[in-house]
């Protein structure tokens, strides 16, 4: 085993620093600067040498490990893989150029949905100005447990078309710093013991895992099928591992885009009641109303409904809503108070005005219509490819054709200036990832540039690298 003092020059590589470092790792292996089996610098050492954060290096190492370029050994370090196939110094990934000759060097990011501006900027500016005009001594005081009641009353409109709306009131709501923070607050409310167990879908939003680990919990994956989490698999996991909380996305499973039917919801709730599980129902993608009862409506004694404004109005406002189970709203707000003293007054004042004026619902509808139009473009472009999607949802799930591996497809797409998420990002470290990728809609990108990015992906699908093993 040998070490290396490798220090790439990232100044010559455009794009985010962590992606630049991934590209440098690939080039280092390709040119022979990084030999198989060599141990790379530690995350902190390389971060210090490059003048970047340790998180940047860690993320780059993680991506390169998922691609098979690197190997990580617990307690020993990170090494250049001795197993992965290597491209020679002059061997191209493709025999034909796939980029548009008249395109710029900009990268189109399809990893997470990006909102179009359908009036949010102007609406937020008006609300901020109105709030500033009424600024007074209250801004000098700590937020109290009940001082955000006006905001909670206003945001009840968000649930106007949901079947649970007649069952809930302002006292059931907890306001949070976005959906991820909402999940964390629920886990803080529910988890007990030194090593609690959280159950989640085997392909799941990584935020579930991160929040569970922050709360000292072990994460156990549960099998999925075409309707989402399998009740029998949940029952078996509970019998084997126990469990206190189960996290599910019934209306728009992330990343597979499937929807859970009514009977499946009832079966899942029956298992949760049998094992006394609390349920986190993630509804942050807020697909158009399906007419199906939410888990909070079907199991009001144990379901925590988590949503936010991030996918429809504003991700930058960091505003989320948790609908607590019956009688648990005060406990949720107390947990939030202990965690961050409640949301800042400017945020709740602005959001209250956005909802009271009717702007919130109008903006949500307009944003969904624009994203639905872009979704139609994507679905039509992919033609007979194996995709899963829902009308109004801001991402699709693409199962790759023969000849492609998910990590390779994501890497080559990145080389073509298109970023997307491989299935690897949604599994636990020891889980099995299907051969698929998630493609989100970029509502903030000019339409022609967005369409060019989609055309690039279509051409990649039509030209798989035949010399890669299947």
Spell out the SS3 assignment of 275-338. CCCEEEEECCCCCCCCCCCCHHHHCCCCEEEEEECCCCCCCCCCCEEEECCCCCHHHHHHHHHH
CA distance 451 to 378: 8
Q: Which residues of 173-212 are buried (b: 16+ CB within 10 A; e: fewer)?
A: bbbbbbbbbbbbbbbbbbbeeeebbbbbbbbbbbbbbebb
- Structural domain count, the chain: 3
Cα distances (Å, whole numbers) of residue 67 to 217, 225, 318, 416: 28, 26, 32, 17
User: What range defines the domain where residue 456 resides?
Assistant: 108-113+362-462
3-state helix, strand, coil in the chain (%, to 5): 45, 15, 45
CATH number where 28 lies: 1.10.10.10
User: pLDDT value at position 430?
Assistant: 67
Same domain, 133 and 191: yes
The answer, yes or no, to whether residue 102 has pLDDT greater than 80, is no
User: pLDDT value at position 196?
Assistant: 94
Starting at the edge strand found earlier in the chain, the sheet holding 320-323 runs: 173-176, 320-323, 303-308, 278-282, 245-248, 197-201, 218-222
Give the confidence band of 65 by pLDDT, cuts at 50, 70, 90: confident
Question: At residue 228, what are phi and psi to the nearest 5 degrees?
Answer: 100, -150
The residue ranking higher by pLDDT, 261 or 74, is 261
pLDDT digits (tens, 9 = 90+) for 296-331: 999 999 999 999 999 989 999 999 999 999 999 999
Give the confidence band of 85 by pLDDT, cuts at 50, 70, 90: very low
The answer to whether the beta carbons of residues 309 and 175 sit under 8 Å apart is no
Considering 357, 383, 412, which residue would you say is the last residue of a domain?
357
H or E element, residue 180: helix 178-190
Cα distances (Å, whole numbers) of residue 289 to 229, 392, 466: 20, 10, 43
Span of 54-63, 127-136, 310-319, 330-339 with lowest mean pLDDT: 54-63
Same domain, 392 and 417: yes
Same domain, 15 and 70: yes
Please give the average per-residue pLDDT across 97-125, as a whole number: 76
The residues near 2 (Cβ < 8 Å, ≥ 6 apart) are: 35, 37, 38, 39
The answer to whether the beta carbons of residues 204 and 216 sit under 8 Å apart is no
Give the confidence band of 272 by pLDDT, cuts at 50, 70, 90: very high
Same domain, 344 and 373: no
User: pLDDT value at position 288?
Assistant: 65
Considering 357, 376, 408, which residue would you say is the last residue of a domain?
357
Q: Is 87 within a domain?
A: no
Same domain, 158 and 300: yes
Q: Is 340 within a domain?
A: yes
User: pLDDT value at position 107?
Assistant: 85
H or E element, residue 212: helix 206-214
The answer to whether the beta carbons of residues 131 and 261 sit under 8 Å apart is no
Span of 30-39, 103-112, 306-315 with lowest mean pLDDT: 103-112
Confidence (pTM) = 0.79
Same domain, 185 and 303: yes
Please report, rounded to a whole number, the percentage of residues in the chain having pLDDT higher than 90. Answer: 61
Same domain, 243 and 154: yes
The residues near 289 (Cβ < 8 Å, ≥ 6 apart) are: 161, 162
The residue ranking higher by pLDDT, 287 or 301, is 301
Say how far residue 380 (Cα) sits from the centre of its chain.
25
Same domain, 328 and 230: yes
User: pLDDT value at position 91?
Assistant: 36
Q: Is 393 within a domain?
A: yes
User: pLDDT value at position 143?
Assistant: 74
Please give the average per-residue pLDDT across 108-113, as a whole number: 92
Give the confidence band of 142 by pLDDT, cuts at 50, 70, 90: confident
Give the confidence band of 83 by pLDDT, cuts at 50, 70, 90: low
User: pLDDT value at position 428?
Assistant: 79
Q: Is 191 within a domain?
A: yes
CA distance 11 to 14: 7
Give the residue carrying structure tokens 């009001």. 300
Q: Which residues pair with 323 in a beta bridge?
A: 173, 305
The answer to whether the beta carbons of residues 15 and 21 sit under 8 Å apart is no
The answer, yes or no, to whether residue 95 has pLDDT greater than 50, is no
Instruction: List the structure tokens of 142.
Output: 């700590």
Same domain, 349 and 424: no
The residue ranking higher by pLDDT, 317 or 100, is 317
Nearest to 392, CA basis, from 259, 208, 293: 259
Same domain, 319 and 367: no
Q: Is 127 within a domain?
A: yes
Please give the average per-residue pLDDT across 148-162, as a whole number: 92
H or E element, residue 386: strand 386-388
Please give the average per-residue pLDDT across 440-455, as a whole number: 93
CA distance 260 to 230: 10
Strands annotated E in 131-270: 173-176, 197-201, 218-222, 224-225, 228-229, 245-248
The residue ranking higher by pLDDT, 406 or 94, is 406
Q: Is 232 within a domain?
A: yes
The answer, yes or no, to whether residue 90 has pLDDT greater than 50, is no
Q: Is 469 within a domain?
A: no
Span of 103-107, 173-177, 202-206 with lowest mean pLDDT: 103-107
The answer, yes or no, to whether residue 389 has pLDDT greater than 60, is yes
Same domain, 232 and 338: yes
The answer, yes or no, to whether residue 345 has pLDDT greater than 70, is yes
Q: Which residues pair with 305 in a beta bridge?
A: 281, 323
CATH number where 430 lies: 3.90.1150.10
The answer to whether the beta carbons of residues 454 and 381 sit under 8 Å apart is yes
CA distance 172 to 328: 7
Give the confidence band of 138 by pLDDT, cuts at 50, 70, 90: confident
Considering 336, 357, 378, which residue would you say is the last residue of a domain?
357
Q: Is 450 within a domain?
A: yes
Question: At residue 22, what are phi and psi to the nearest 5 degrees?
Answer: -60, -45
Please give the average per-residue pLDDT across 216-241, as a whole number: 96
Same domain, 139 and 246: yes
């Amino acid at each position: 085993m040998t070490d290396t003092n490798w220090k790439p020059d990232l100044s010559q590589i455009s794009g985010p620093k962590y992606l630049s470092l991934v590209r440098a790792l690939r080039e280092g292996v390709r040119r022979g600067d990084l030999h198989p089996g060599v141990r790379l610098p530690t995350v902190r050492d390389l971060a210090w040498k490059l003048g970047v954060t340790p998180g940047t290096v860690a993320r780059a190492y993680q991506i390169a490990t998922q691609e098979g370029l690197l190997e990580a050994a617990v307690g020993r370090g990170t090494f250049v893989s001795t197993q992965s196939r290597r491209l020679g110094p002059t061997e191209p990934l493709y025999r034909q150029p796939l980029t548009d000759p008249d395109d710029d060097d900009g990268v189109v990011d399809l990893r997470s949905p990006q909102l179009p501006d359908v009036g949010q900027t102007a609406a937020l500016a008006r609300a901020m100005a109105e709030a500033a005009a009424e600024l007074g001594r209250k801004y000098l005081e700590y937020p109290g447990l009940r001082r955000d009641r006006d905001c909670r009353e206003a945001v009840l409109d968000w649930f106007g078309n949901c079947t649970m709306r007649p069952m809930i009131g302002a006292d059931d709501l907890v306001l949070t710093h976005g959906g991820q923070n909402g999940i964390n607050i629920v886990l803080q409310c529910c988890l007990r013991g030194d090593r609690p167990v959280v159950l989640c879908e085997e392909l799941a939003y990584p935020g579930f895992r991160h929040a569970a680990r922050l709360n000292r919990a072990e994460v156990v994956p549960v099998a999925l099928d075409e309707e989402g989490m399998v009740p029998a698999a949940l029952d078996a996991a509970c019998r084997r591992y126990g469990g206190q909380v189960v996290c599910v996305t019934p209306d728009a499973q992330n990343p597979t885009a499937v929807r859970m039917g009514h009977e499946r919801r009832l079966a899942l709730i029956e298992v949760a009641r049998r094992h006394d599980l609390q349920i986190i129902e993630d509804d942050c993608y807020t697909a158009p109303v399906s007419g199906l009862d939410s888990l909070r409506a079907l199991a009001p004694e144990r379901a925590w409904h988590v949503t936010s404004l991030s996918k429809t109005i504003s991700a930058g406002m960091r505003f989320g809503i948790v609908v607590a189970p019956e009688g648990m709203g005060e406990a949720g707000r107390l947990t939030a108070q202990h965690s961050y003293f409640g949301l800042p007054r400017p945020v709740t004042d602005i959001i209250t005005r956005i909802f009271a004026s009717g702007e919130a619902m109008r903006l949500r509808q307009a944003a969904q219509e624009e994203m639905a139009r872009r979704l139609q473009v994507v679905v039509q472009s992919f033609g007979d490819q194996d995709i899963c999607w829902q009308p109004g949802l801001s991402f699709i799930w693409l199962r790759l054709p023969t000849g492609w591996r998910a990590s390779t497809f994501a890497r080559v797409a990145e080389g073509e200036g298109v970023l997307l998420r491989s299935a690897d990002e949604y599994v636990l470290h020891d889980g099995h990832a299907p051969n698929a990728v998630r493609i989100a809609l970029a509502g903030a990108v000019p339409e022609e540039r967005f369409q060019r990015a989609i055309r690039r992906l279509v051409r990649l699908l039509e030209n798989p690298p035949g010399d890669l093993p299947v």
